């Protein structure tokens, strides 16, 4: 989220929660940042920082943005 480089999942975060729980919490934390967007957001987590074309994510979820989307 934001204009900086992609975030890495902190290794210590996954000691207490699953990747899915971490990703969903990250999306919930970013709700204010995403408030002005409309449409669908695809959130993917990969094993490597710069996955190549066609790389399969280890976790992915689609989130509807905008009114009534959450």
pLDDT in tens, 2-23: 455 666 777 777 788 888 888 8
Residue 39: give the domain boundaries.
11-65
Question: What is the domain count for the chain?
Answer: 1
The answer to whether position 4 is within a domain reads no
Q: How far apart are CA 67 and CA 43, in angstroms?
A: 19
The average confidence (pLDDT) of the chain is: 78
The answer to whether position 55 is within a domain reads yes
Residue 64, helix vs strand vs coil? strand
pTM over 0.85: no
The answer to whether position 1 is within a domain reads no
- Contact, 46 vs 34, CB < 8 A? no
Q: How far apart are CA 26 and CA 65, in angstroms?
A: 15
């Amino acid at each position: 989220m934001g204009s900086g480089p992609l975030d890495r999942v902190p290794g210590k975060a996954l000691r207490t929660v699953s990747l899915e729980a971490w990703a969903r919490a990250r999306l919930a934390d970013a709700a204010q940042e995403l408030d002005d967007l409309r449409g669908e957001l695809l959130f993917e987590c990969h094993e490597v920082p710069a996955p190549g074309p066609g790389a399969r994510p280890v976790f992915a979820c689609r989130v509807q943005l905008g009114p009534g989307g959450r």
